[in-house]
Amino acid sequence: MNSSLWIVGGEQRGVPHWTHEWRLYKKALVVKAEAGGLERVLEYESPPEHCPDVPSIVFKAASMSRDRAYLCTQTEILICDFPSFAIRNIISLPCFNDVHHVAVAPDGRLFVAVTGLDAVAELTPDGKLLRLVSVIGGSVWDRFSPKIDYRKVATTKPHRAHPNFVFLIDDVPWVTRFEQRDAVPLDANTDGGSVFALGDNPVHDGYVDGDHVYFTTVDGRILRFDVASGKQECFDLNLMGTSYPDRALGWCRGVLPHADCAWVGFSRIRYTSMRQNVDWIRRGFRRVDRYPPAPTRIAHYNLREHKLLEEIDLEGQGMNTIFSIHAPRRSPLGTYMPAVAAQSDAS
């Protein structure tokens, strides 16, 4: 690898692998990969007042904007210096439950995927709530109570939409919906109009890069859309080689494209009670039960040549799940900037 990468995720507790994910992780992590070496640059545990009695503490998908890193735990937004990751501010609101991503608008507003409430929160740069928008229509409070501190609620599953990733196109916020297999404008009528229709693909997160939007699917594919034309390309990473044959690649979350290549995150397969989300693991792997799951790692692919270039195992750093991958930014993450290069747990 020719430059530094920062990988965002978490460390698993010493518990059985079938433990529910809302109790699974003990520590949120950022790991730096550089010149063949790995280093933990941030370890974080949420304070008791921001989480349930037995919390899962993990960094979900982050954003980098100029000299700031915007990280999210299940119930918090951390604003840090970048690349030092010194914590400058922590934002935690009662409506935060199973937060999956935070995106930064050019004017500094924050858009937060509040997955547990099937909503997106829009915040001022200093963390004041401007609005909370349901991604399935109507009011968030049609299903939930504004009197409950949802940071103390371990889970609200099953979710009706499971929004994962927020991004901006021409300053307009969009959001992916895992259950609907699409990405929609936050303020549009989601029963029609302009959407990224993703078919049967279990989309998790994405990345905006110049004229293209990239999405990952949990079963190991990258979908690339041309913003102007809507043309879609699909890159199946399952067909590009692996160091771990006869088993699934892993839970695919986090993509960092550059030129014809991309870094992709794979998390070790874990138990999920939402069985339909992991049926793909067994397809094509007759001896899947004979091998341990492939380790948590990042993999580098040449998409044009359909070839695996490199893999970096992160288990030795205690990282057992990955949600996003980052490099020094040229423009705000999650923001579409014309002519300028302008990122999950889905069970």
Percent of the chain with pLDDT over 70: 85
**What confidence score (pLDDT) does residue 271 get?**
52
Place of tokens 């400058």: 88
Which stretches does DSSP call E strand in 20-67? 25-34, 37-44, 63-65
Q: What is the pLDDT of residues 2-30, one digit of tens each?
A: 689 999 999 998 766 656 777 789 999 99
Whether the bond between 295 and the residue before it is cis, its omega within 30 degrees of 0, is: no
- Which amino acid is present at 169? I
Query: Distance (Å, rounded) from C-alpha 6 to C-alpha 1?
Result: 13
Tell me if residue 102 falls in helix, strand or coil: strand
Q: Are 97 and 74 in contact (CB under 8 A)?
A: yes
**What confidence score (pLDDT) does residue 274 get?**
41
Q: Are 322 and 298 in contact (CB under 8 A)?
A: yes
Sign, CA torsion 200/202/204/206 = negative
Which stretches does DSSP call E strand in 35-157? 37-44, 63-65, 68-72, 77-81, 87-91, 99-104, 110-114, 119-123, 129-134
Q: What is the pLDDT of residues 30-42, one digit of tens each?
A: 999 998 799 999 9
Tell me if residue 250 falls in helix, strand or coil: coil
Q: What is the pLDDT of residues 270-304, one digit of tens each?
A: 755 344 455 545 454 445 455 688 999 999 999 99
Residues shown for the chain = 347
Structure tokens given for 197: 């229709």
C-alpha 260: how far from its chain's center? 22
Give bridge partners of residue 37 from the DSSP assignment. Answer: 34
Q: What is the pLDDT of residues 50-66, one digit of tens each?
A: 999 999 999 999 999 88
Q: Buried b vs exposed e over 41-67: b needs ≥16 C-beta within 10 Å? A: ebebebeeebbbeebbbbbbbbbbbee
Which stretches does DSSP call E strand in 198-296? 203-209, 212-217, 221-226, 232-236, 251-258, 261-267
**What confidence score (pLDDT) does residue 272 get?**
52
Residue 316's alpha-carbon distances to 154, 319, 320, in angstroms, are 29, 7, 9
- Assign domain 5-326 to a CATH class: mainly beta
Sign, CA torsion 281/287/289/295 = negative
- pLDDT of residue 169 exceeding 70: yes
Q: What is the pLDDT of residues 326-342, one digit of tens each?
A: 998 644 334 333 222 22
**What confidence score (pLDDT) does residue 131 get?**
98
Mean pLDDT of the chain: 87
**What confidence score (pLDDT) does residue 152 get?**
98
Q: What is the pLDDT of residues 172-228, one digit of tens each?
A: 999 999 999 999 999 975 444 567 888 888 888 999 998 999 999 999 999 999 998
Instruction: Output DSSP code: residue 288.
Output: G
β pairing state of 321-326 and 5-12:
antiparallel
Place of tokens 């079963």: 219
Total-model pTM: 0.88
Q: What is the pLDDT of residues 115-144, one digit of tens each?
A: 999 999 999 999 999 999 999 999 999 999
- pLDDT of residue 84 exceeding 90: yes
Listing DSSP states for 1-16 in one string gives --S-EEEEEEEE-SS-
Q: Which residue, 21, 46, 37, 43, is CA-closest to 316?
A: 37
Query: Distance (Å, rounded) from C-alpha 69 to C-alpha 5?
Result: 13
Domain residue spans of the chain: 5-326
Q: Which residue, 346, 249, 240, is CA-closest to 295?
A: 249
